[in-house]
Structure 1
C-alpha cells in the first residue's frame, strides 16, 4: 500500500513516499479500514518538521477517515461498509484523561493515517457523521474535538454568552460554528480584512483586526462587557490580550502554541478577574461521539480550504506554513 513516512532528522523535504505491506486482516477486537482522507493540524506539522521527535520511518497524520472493509471477532459496533473516523487519543475513551496519553497518538507515538489502509482496535474509531464525505470527516479528529472540548465539556458555553475565537484555522472555525449553534455571540480576530469578511459570513457577530488594533483584548471587552469564553490558540504571545478580553469569571481554553511554549503572563490580572485558564488536549472518544451527534442535529459542515493528494503531503504543509489557508487543509488518499 502507498504511505508517507517521516525520516530522521525530520524536515518537510525528507517526507518520503513508500510502498508498505498491506494492513492485513483484523485481529479480534479490530477493524480494517480503507483510508480515503486525512487533514493537517499544527501538531502534525511539529512532527514532520522535527520539533516533536518521533521514530524514524514513522507514518504521520493523526486524522484518518475511510470505510470499514472487515471486522475482527467480537466487534459489533461496526460492519463492513460503515464510514468511520479516527480518534486522537486511542487510550482515552471517556472520563478523565489518562497518563502518558501522547505515547499513543497516531502519527506521533504510533503510526498514523498517511497510508491507504490500517487494521486497528475498533475503539480507535467512531462512525463518521451521516452524509459527510471522507474528506469532511477527516477534519474532525483533532480540530473539531478540540473546539468541542473547549466550549462544551470544559466551558460550558450557554446561550447568550460571548465567545472569542482567534484567526481562521480549523479549531477557530469549528469553535465559531459550535458557539453559534449553542446560541452564543462570537467575536473573531484576524489580521486579514478578507478573512474577517469571511468570518462574518460564517456567523461572527463582531470582528477585530489584531494588526490594526493591537490592544484587541480591550476592544473585545468593550464590545460585550467581558468575554465569557476565549478559544486561545496563540499561546504566550496572545494570552495577555485574552486575559484582557474576559469578564469576571471568564474562561480561557488554552489550546495552541503558535507563538511559543513559554512567556510572561499577567497572572495578577487573571487573578483579579477570577479567570479560569484551562489547558485543552483534544478530547476523548466520548467527546467525539457527542460532538458528532451535535453536528448531525445542527447540520454543521467543516470549512475546507483545499486538499492535496497523499504524495504531495509536503506541499500541503508548505501551504499551511504560508498562513494563507482559511479552514482545514485536507489530504486525499484514494
Structure 2
C-alpha cells in the first residue's frame, strides 16, 4: 500500500508518499480501506513538527486524524463492525465515554498513533464508528475533529437554551459546524469574517447577524450592540492573538467562552479582572469522546445537516491542500480523496 509520511526536519516539503507493507488486523482490530480524509489546522502544525505531546521529538508520523473508509477485514473478537461497513475514524482512539483523562487524550490519531493518511489502516474496533448513510465519504471525513469539537463546545460544556446568542469566529471547519448546529438548536447566531462573500455564504446557512471584523475591528462592541448591551451567551474562540480581548468584551455576565484554537497565534494574556467582573467561564475544548460522536451523528441525521466541503484534492496532493489551508481562503473543510 501507499501512505503519507512526514519526518524531521519537518515542514510541508518533508511530506511524501511512501510504499509500506499492507497491515493485518489483530484481535479486536479492524482493517479499513480509506476513502477520504479531511484537514485540520492541527495537521498543518503537526507536519511542521510543532504540535502535540512530544510530537517534535518523533522521527516520523503518518498524518491526519479524520477519515472515512470501508471495513475490509476484522480480527478475532470484533463485534462493533463487520466487513463492508462504512466507518469514520475517531480522533481519540481510547476516549469512549466520560470526562477526559491524560490516557484518553494521549490516544490521538496522527500522533502518537499513526493516522488515516494511508490507503489501508488498522484501528481498534473502539476507534471507529458507523456513520449516517446519507452523507458522502467526503462529508463523513469532516466529522471526527471539527464537527465533534463544535458539538462538544455547544452541547456538552456550555449550558445554553434555545434563543441564546452564540458567536462563531471565522468560517473555518469548526465555526461552520458550530453555525449549523447552533441554527438547528434554535440559537441566535452571530458570525465574524474578513470577507463579505464568506459572510453571505454563512447567511445562507442560517447566520442571523454578520460582522466583518476587518471593517469593524472592535467586533466585541458590535456584538454588544446586537444584543442590546447584554453580550453573547456563548463565544467560539478560535483565533487566540487578536481575538481573545474582543471575546472578553463581547461575552455577557455569566457567559461561556469555548477555547478552540489559536489560528492567529498564541494569544494575549487573559485579564483576570475582566473574567471576575463578568463571572464568565472559559473552557478549553479538545475534541470529544465516542459517545459524544455518536450522539452528534444522530442529531446530524435527524436535522439532515450536510457538512460543508469547500474543495477536494487527490490524497497524493496533500501538500497542496495544506498550503491552501495555510492560505485561509477556504469556507468549511478541505478534503483529500483516495
Shorter-chain TM-score bucket reads over 0.9
Taking a change above 3 Å as real, the CA distance of residues 54 and 320 of structure 1, as seen in their structure-2 partners, is farther
8 Å CA contact retained: 1:31, 1:120: yes
Report the Cα offset of residue 294 of structure 1: 0.6
- Equivalences for 1:148-163 in 2 at 5 Å? 148-163=151-166
What is the match of residue 280 of structure 1?
285
8 Å CA contact retained: 1:2, 1:115: yes
What is the match of residue 7 of structure 2?
7
Question: Residue 204 in 1 paired to residue 207 in 2?
Answer: yes
- Equivalent position to 1:256, from 254, 258, 261: 261
Report the Cα offset of residue 56 of structure 1: 2.5
8 Å CA contact retained: 2:315, 2:336: yes
8 Å CA contact retained: 2:93, 2:126: yes
Question: Residue 32 in 1 paired to residue 31 in 2?
Answer: yes
SS in structure 2 at match of 1:330: strand
- Equivalences for 1:183-222 in 2 at 5 Å? 183-222=186-225
- For residues 290 and 103 of structure 1, the distance between their equivalents in structure 2, rounded to whole angstroms, comes to 23
Taking a change above 3 Å as real, the CA distance of residues 230 and 302 of structure 1, as seen in their structure-2 partners, is same
Question: Residue 147 in 1 paired to residue 146 in 2?
Answer: no
Taking a change above 3 Å as real, the CA distance of residues 37 and 243 of structure 1, as seen in their structure-2 partners, is same
SS in structure 2 at match of 1:153: helix
**Length-normalised TM-score, structure 2:** 0.96
Question: Residue 106 in 1 paired to residue 105 in 2?
Answer: no
Report the Cα offset of residue 293 of structure 1: 0.7
- Equivalent position to 1:83, from 66, 83, 86: 86
Superposed CA RMSD in Å reads 1.2
- Structure 1 alignment gaps of length 5 or more: none
Q: Deviations over 1:142-190 (max 9, x none)?
A: 0000000000001133211111000000000000000011000100000
8 Å CA contact retained: 1:47, 1:54: no
- For residues 60 and 249 of structure 2, the distance between their equivalents in structure 1, rounded to whole angstroms, comes to 44
Report the Cα offset of residue 55 of structure 1: 2.1
Taking a change above 3 Å as real, the CA distance of residues 54 and 102 of structure 1, as seen in their structure-2 partners, is farther
What is the match of residue 167 of structure 1?
170
Taking a change above 3 Å as real, the CA distance of residues 54 and 326 of structure 1, as seen in their structure-2 partners, is farther
- Structure 2 alignment gaps of length 5 or more: none
- For residues 307 and 2 of structure 1, the distance between their equivalents in structure 2, rounded to whole angstroms, comes to 19
What is the match of residue 49 of structure 1?
48
Q: Deviations over 1:42-68 (max 9, x none)?
A: 111100122222522311001111011
- For residues 166 and 206 of structure 1, the distance between their equivalents in structure 2, rounded to whole angstroms, comes to 12
Aligned residues, how many? 332
